[in-house]
Amino acid sequence: MNIVDVRDALHDLAGPAQMPTEAQRAAVDRRVRCSRLMQLTGAVALVLVAVVGVVFVARPWSDDHEPTQVVTSAGTTIHDEQLGYTVTIPPGWVREPVHVKPGYELPVILRLRYGYKQGALGEDCAASGTQVGVSIGVQEDNLIRPPQPEFAAQFRRSPVFGPDSDGGLTVNTYPPVCGRLEQSLMFEEAGRRFFIGLTMAANTSPALQAEAYEILNSLRFDRGTFVDKVRSDTSTTTSVSSPP
Amino acid sequence: VTDGFEAFFEDHYGEVERAVALAIGDRGRAEELTQEAFARAYRRWRRVSEMQRPVAWLYVVALNAERKRWRHEQIATAPIVVAADGEDHAGGVVTSIVLQTAIAELPPRQRAAITLRYLADLSNAEVADAMGCAEGTVKATIHQALKSLRVDIGGEA
């Protein structure tokens, strides 16, 4: 036997090559159409996934969650599990939306106000004098982590916040915020470091000032579920020098 | 964009389908695989038509799913097929029938290799592409198949 015999046997085994039937032609057409449909569906799905991905990445991380709230006669206690704080705010105070994303080095995680309008300063002292109310901004410092033990004393939280805490409540005499009362508080809690800016209009009543400090004293922090995500990007770009 | 596809389909559908059927030993599945291969060729016709041997590409596509199976088939377990030898007093009919039986009983990998090589007329390199293995492996597989069939190999494989 030789190769020719093998060829012949293979041809006999396989049978004659038939011309394609209409059914086979239709089957190929169907597969082409089906494949195009699948490609189209796949492309649409890909676009949808991309859009959802972009929306997910670009969305303000803390805007779509609703912290738990407990309302009592003393006010509303809010626990934000993601940003990791609990605070009680008296009636009339407003908690403004904040935008926290991964990589923010100094994100404002909480902003409260009573009548005060951010950025509503006038061009001069007279115009700024129309500002009323109080504003509290809580900013987290993600620049240095973890909190350095040698600075622990410097960032120890005051047992009670009041007009004398840290640098104290001072009057800003510079235009255009003439007469505005300001106080900065810095401390560490739950392995996180915070700056709190307290701003009051010049004519703020003692009762409203007291409410502001009540709020600050009710403020407690925990790890929160966003902390590590927010820090994730900055952790690779921030370096901390150790003292010799 | 699909100029020439119709003629290509007419000319090659039948031969590809029967070779794939013999290579994998399943005519129904061969029909599906062949149709899918032609559907893919249609979608990529501009590129496929520019190939030196578009029909060889069809075999590669059609046999895509079979490659894994062939790759894992143990050559060592291939049974030795005893084919007809010596004189054939019936004008080649006996030889052909016995040879067909012997080919049908070859291990799938060997049967596929000689089918693609001698029925589909693919080169060793094209068979290697279609079966997903090295050209040397194709040569060895075909050699083993022909030896099992007691074919005078001469300069083949």
Q: What confidence score (pLDDT) does residue A234 get? A: 46
Q: Token digits for B155?
A: 């300069």
Report helix, strand or coil for A86.
Answer: strand
Closest residue to A10, CB basis, from B9, B17, B103:
B103
Which residues in chain B have Cβ-Cβ distances shorter than 8 Å to A27? 31, 35
How many residue pairs bridge chain A and chain B with CB atoms within 8 Å of each other? 95
Q: What confidence score (pLDDT) does residue B25 get? A: 85
Q: What is the pTM of this model?
A: 0.49
Q: Is A8 on the interface with B (CB under 8 A)?
A: yes
**Three-state SS letters, B104-147:** HCCCHHHHHHHHHHHHCCCCHHHHHHHHCCCHHHHHHHHHHHHH
Q: What confidence score (pLDDT) does residue B17 get? A: 93
Whether A6 and B118 lie within 8 Å, measured CB to CB = yes
CB-side neighbour CA atoms (13 Å) of B130: 31
> How far is A175 from A180, CA to CA, in rounded Å?
10
- DSSP letter at A243 equals P
* pLDDT tens string A136-189: 999 887 755 556 666 677 778 888 999 988 878 888 776 666 777 888 888 888
Report CA torsion sign: B20, B24, B28, B29: negative
Stretch (H or E) spanning A192 = strand A192-200
Taking each helix axis from N to C end, the angle separating B54-62 and B5-24, rounded to the nearest 10 degrees, works out to 40
Q: What confidence score (pLDDT) does residue A240 get? A: 28
Profile chain B (157 residues) by mean pLDDT over runs of 10 residues: 84 93 88 91 89 90 79 50 43 67 86 92 90 89 87 57
Whether A1 and B151 lie within 8 Å, measured CB to CB = yes
Mark which residues 96-155 of B lie under 8 Å from A by CB: 96, 99-100, 103-104, 114-115, 118-119, 146, 149-152, 154
In sequence order, what DSSP letters do the residues of A124-182 get, joined into one string? SHHHHTT--SEEEEEEE--SS-SPPGGGTTTTPPPSS--TTSTT--EEE-STTSTTEEE
Q: Among B79, B86, B89, which Cα is nearest to B145's? A: B79
Whether B39 and A32 lie within 8 Å, measured CB to CB = yes
Q: Is A19 on the interface with B (CB under 8 A)?
A: yes
Those residues of chain A that have pLDDT short of 70 are: 56-65, 102-105, 118-124, 126-129, 143-151, 174-177, 229-244
Q: What confidence score (pLDDT) does residue A235 get? A: 43
Q: What confidence score (pLDDT) does residue A121 get? A: 56
Stretch (H or E) spanning B69 = helix B64-72
Closest residue to A11, CB basis, from B38, B119, B150:
B119
